[in-house]
Amino acid sequence: MPTPSRTPAPMSGADILVESLIRHGVEVVFAYPGGASMPIHQSLTRVQDRLRTILPRHEQGGGFMAHGYSRTTGKAGVCMSTSGPGATNFVTCIADAKMDSIPLIAVTGQVSTKVLGNDAFQETPMVEICRGITKHHYLLTRVEDVARVMREAFHVATTGRPGPVLIDVCKDVQTGATVPDWDAPMDLPGYRPLRVAGRAELEPVVAAIRGSKKPFIYAGGGVTHAGAAAELKELAELTGIPVGLTLHGLGNFPADHYLCLQMLGMHGTVYSNYAINEADLLLALGVRFDDRVTGKLSEFAKHGRIVHVDIDSSEIHKNKFAHVPVHGDVKAAIRDLNAILKEDANADLVGGGRYADWMRQIDAWREAEPLRAADAPNAILPQYAIKRLYEILRDRGQLDKTIVSTGVGQHQMWAAQFFHFNRPRKWVTSGGLGTMGFGLPAAIGCKVAFPDHLCIDIDGDGSFLMNVQELATAYAEKIPAKVLLLNNQHLGMVMQWEDRFFASNRAHTYLGAGPDHAPYPDFERIAEGFGVKARSIAAKDDLDAALIEMIESPGPFVLNVHVPHQEHVLPMIPAGMTVKDIIKA
């Protein structure tokens, strides 16, 4: 007799959601519980052998841990909260993910469907709040939709231009039950994220290269998201075209390569900004012509033709007109462009000899205006501290297994300038939104993603204080993230602008607690209160030994380095200005 088929057992909405995470390859979630999300957390306890749950000490901390995980792996990071204030604490994380094109799944609890719209306890309209800062969003009011919505959410977050997806789940949906349809078709009419540019779109790029005498490659975060670093390197080496990188482009082209002109823009190198200003052809790959790069738009790259390659068609022509627009996947576009360049008919374009005069000019700029690492006889200047960290790790052979995150401010720009990256996804920072407090939780997420890597948050005291509570997560979860804290007792970047544009009038940028300017707060005692080892130094002679102690410490570590507050990040192109207005000293 044939064995009768068994009818699948109904599952709760919470169990379906958690099982969906596992089926989509999720290894870890960063989740803080509350009344409206308790059923999901109960489900999480039943799958601890398949899915790790990390408890942050603040929802924003959990959201930025998910950022660190996602930005280093390329996978969707997952964070969870309860409704109301727990959910609204995700708003900054979601906005940050939208600005930097990060695949993030934010799951928030919501009140039951029967009281939706009644201002029930801890009810907030998260979909309405986040409508402008998500790539897509859902309010789940039916348990039958959970499996399909989860499938759609991962698809939307990780395809095309990546971005955040919000899933707001009513509590009665979490407790309700149904037999899930794991293969339910997605309902995403009009969403066609995958496009590969054809040869007809790439031939004009080849023609533009042929007609150019001073070309420049401007590469951004889209290269990271496309996984196109190898293709970019091949393009530059085939043609001999120099490469400048955005803040999020760092690592996509080796910093130690002759053709690398390092970071461009407001705090980029003088020579990269000179080069992009004089170029007669700009190959813009996976960029959005952000104001921190362009300055005054009408004056930016006005001497040449612009080729713009991007997966997001809405970015093409948005800020700068593209003479040669190429809508498609950046990796495929550069790969296919390289293939065309290798054809016999284009042999005159390869080898780099075409641009000898151009490179001689760039070399002259490089020699005349290098990035200068400041120094002082006794004090530890922040640039010097970062430079020594890089040099020590380089000399120890640890760079390939080091990931650097940052907060936002002067320390972030100095890290971009003086810590060199030769591989993608080793540099994790908040760019478009510029969120202070990002560095520590992001470093924790990085370390969870890559337990065998050294994960260091280069931070400032103002930024560090905004999510300092996540030291407790690092200690309790045994996550040995490190913090190099450059403590200048001020909101350094705002102070720099005060010095440059407001006659040094201090408008609430001093973070100390008294006129004697004694160090405050005591970060060493704070860290030790969380169970985290810490050390404070101020003398230059102590720096190397302290950095090595931080590197070699088996657990989380905070190295509190007292630095003078008078330093400025240079060079600097003031906002809305041009290369002609660059400040060098």
Asked if residues 46 and 17 have their Cβ atoms less than 8 Å apart, the reply is: no
Cβ burial, residue 232 (10 Å; 0-12/13-18/19+): buried
Separation between Cα atoms, residue 206 and residue 243, nearest integer Å: 17
User: DSSP secondary structure string, 247-313?
Assistant: GGGTTSS-TTSTTEEEE-STTS-HHHHHHHHH-SEEEEES----HHHHSSGGGTTTTSEEEEEES-G
Is residue 59 flagged as an active site residue? Answer: yes
Structure tokens at 61: 């901390």
Token pair listed for 178:
């149904």
Instruction: Give me the phi and psi of 218, to 5 degrees please.
Output: -115, 105
Q: For the chain, how many residues are written?
A: 585
Catalytic residue, chosen from 27, 42, 122, 528, is 122
Residue 579, CA distances (Å) to 294, 322, 569 in order: 9, 21, 16
Closest alpha carbon to 556 in 438, 468, 437, 436: 468
Residues 6+ apart with CB under 8 A from 368: none
**Tokens 């309902």 map to which residue?**
187
Catalytic residue from among 19, 59, 152, 524:
59
Is 121 part of the annotated catalytic residue set? yes
Secondary structure of 81-148 as H, E, C letters = ECCCHHHHCCHHHHHHHHHHCCCEEEEEEECCHHHCCCCCCCCCCHHHHHHHHCCEEEEECCHHHHHH
Please confirm whether the linkage preceding 571 is cis (ω < 30° from 0): yes
Annotated catalytic residue, options 80, 493, 495, 550:
493
CA distance 104 to 292: 24
269 neighbors 275 (Cβ within 8 angstroms): no
Can you state the percent helix, strand and coil of the chain, rounding each to 5?
Answer: 40, 15, 40
The single-letter code of the amino acid at 122 is Q
Structure tokens at 275: 């080069």
Which residue among 121, 321, 501, 502 is the active-site one?
Answer: 121
CA-CA distance, 367 to 57, in Å (whole number)? 48
493 is catalytic: yes
Looking at 75, 98, 135, 171, which residue is catalytic? 171
Q: Which residues are catalytic?
A: 59, 121-122, 171, 493
